[in-house]
Structure 1
Amino acid sequence: MSEDVAVVIEDGEDIRELLAQVLTQGGFVVHAAADGATGVELVREHDPIVVTIDVNMPGIDGFETARQVRAISTAYIVMITARGDEIDTLVGLQTGADDYIVKPFRPRELRARIEAMMRRPRVLASTHPSPPHPSAPQAFGATDAVSHVASETGSVDLTGAPWGEGDAEPALLEHRGLRLEPGARVVELDGAEVELTRSEFDILRMLLSSGRRVVSKMQLAGMLRGERGEPDHYLSEHDARAIEVHVANLRRKLGESPSDPRWIETVRGVGYRRTS
């Protein structure tokens, strides 16, 4: 049986060794590079499942490295940087990154986020999805976190899905000419297929399936971290800003104006909900 492979692209020796150690302890065979060009070649050679990329590197920076990696690989990409500005989050997500962690980070946070990513399909929503990686739930051992996170309005229980507990997920969600098929992970607008990233698809699915119920940014972040409310202790305001970026990208692809929304309403200070 083939072993799971990870590639670490990080110019800082200490951080590079820490990332390699964390991933090795998680059962990965790790290949590391100190610059983007070498890292891209390692990805091409070893076809990893996970790639971590430092944003601030000499030569080609992390954003360009992520673009080149995404062009040749469906690996999960985690951007790691000392900068926490929203513009960096925007650029990182637009280059195809699946997650974004700001230094300093805790090794346990990285493990938790990679576990969550590996429970999700490895391909874009507009293509036929592969199943979650079979080792994903046990990738770093069982988690002992509780199933609650704080939202902007208080404590939100994420143990339930948007649809009823125990109910089958709807085979088709439709609203104002927008059709979403959860099983096939396909979105069509007025009969034309729309290409969405994993995160954009999952956010749209949650909003459409929630009816007129308001879904907070932190609920959406929690869903992306762990699908149907898996525990996560590491949600922050940075995650809320990332949701804003995902929703902005989603609206742009759908051709929707935030001031005159056709599908997604912004509830100021709270989150989002489906239009009536």
Structure 2
Amino acid sequence: MSGSKILVVDDESDITELITLYMERDGFVVHSTDNGEDAIKLARELQPDMILLDISLKSIDGFEVCRQIRTISNVPILFISCKSDDIDIIHGLAVGGDDYMTKPFSPSQLVARVKAHLRRQSVNRQNLAAREHDEVLRFDGLVIDLPGRTVHVGEKEVFLSTKEFELLVRLAKSPNRAFALDDLYTIVWGHDSMGDTRTLMVHISNLRKKIEPDPTNPIFIVTVRGIGYKFNIKEGTGNVQR
């Protein structure tokens, strides 16, 4: 984890300096900018391991920055913002953010959150490489290629963020099993994550918009009332190929 590249995008220089100080103290390599357009360019050129992204920026806001980065990268993006309303949090996650922290925050807590994301990402990659080599999940109208990390709905490939892909794989590998909200959040975000299940619910909503024929009446990711979610398939309509 030491040496991981972190891109900090914030127009408050004192915040950027504080984050940089704490991140570098833990061995991270920090790059920063206060400009949205520059952030997109740096994300492409630097290929950072994680991005810390404010919403209020020069030229274009953080929502649009995230939306554009998501067309070229699935790097984990953590929004850091003084906007704490649910609508802002939901919007940030809906455009492709993986997590959200509100200002003011403890720098040490931010570092812990970053480490949790990077650690979880590393574990998931190792698990995919070790246990899911050449594995493809096929369902009626939906194909999930685990080693290629691609998803096709019919003939069309759909782009998923890292957390969206991990959620879909976790659910699809245990079809018809009901997952509690807290359990599913812990499985994907990790035991040491410090978010809440609103993050999970927004990601589920995003997934439905991308893979369901009718997101308002889902056939794959269905709600289990009083429990959480499950990946729903009829007998004989799904299989795994190696």
TM-score by length of 2: 0.75
Identity of matched residues, %: 36
> What does 1:137-156 align with in structure 2 at a 5 Å threshold?
none
1:263 and 2:223 correspond: no
The CA deviation at 1:57 is 3.5
Give the number of the structure with larger relative contact order, counting CA–CA contacts within 8 Å between residues 6 or more apart: 2
Q: 1:48 to 1:184 in 2, by over 3 A?
A: closer
Query: How many equivalent pairs are there?
Result: 227
More helix by share: 2
Aligned partner of 1:232 among 192, 199, 214: 192
- 2:67, 2:95 within 8 Å by CA — same for their partners in 1? yes
> What does 1:91-170 align with in structure 2 at a 5 Å threshold?
91-119=91-119, 132=125, 168-169=131-132
The match for 2:147 is: 183
Unaligned runs of 5+ in 2: 235-242
The CA deviation at 1:45 is 5.9
The CA deviation at 1:58 is 4.9
Q: Distance between the aligned counterparts of 1:195 and 1:250, measured in 2? A: 10
Q: Distance between the aligned counterparts of 2:165 and 2:55, measured in 1? A: 25
Q: Distance between the aligned counterparts of 1:77 and 1:89, measured in 2? A: 13
- 2:76, 2:117 within 8 Å by CA — same for their partners in 1? yes
Q: Distance between the aligned counterparts of 2:195 and 2:207, measured in 1? A: 21
Secondary structure of 2:159's counterpart equals coil
Q: 1:168 to 1:53 in 2, by over 3 A?
A: closer
The CA deviation at 1:59 is 4.4
The CA deviation at 1:273 is 0.9
- 2:44, 2:72 within 8 Å by CA — same for their partners in 1? yes
The CA deviation at 1:168 is 4.3
The CA deviation at 1:246 is 1.3
Q: Distance between the aligned counterparts of 2:216 and 2:68, measured in 1? A: 35
Secondary structure of 1:210's counterpart equals coil
Q: 1:76 to 1:265 in 2, by over 3 A?
A: closer
Amino acid at match of 1:250: L
The match for 1:89 is: 89
Unaligned runs of 5+ in 1: 123-130, 135-160, 162-166
The CA deviation at 1:232 is 1.0
RMSD: 3.3
Q: Distance between the aligned counterparts of 1:101 and 1:16, measured in 2? A: 15
1:253 and 2:210 correspond: yes
The CA deviation at 1:259 is 5.5
- 1:218, 1:235 within 8 Å by CA — same for their partners in 2? no
1:207 and 2:171 correspond: yes
1:221 and 2:178 correspond: no
Amino acid at match of 1:55: I
1:162-219 deviation line (CA, Å, top 9, x unaligned)? xxxxx94592333334232323323233454333222222111111222322112222
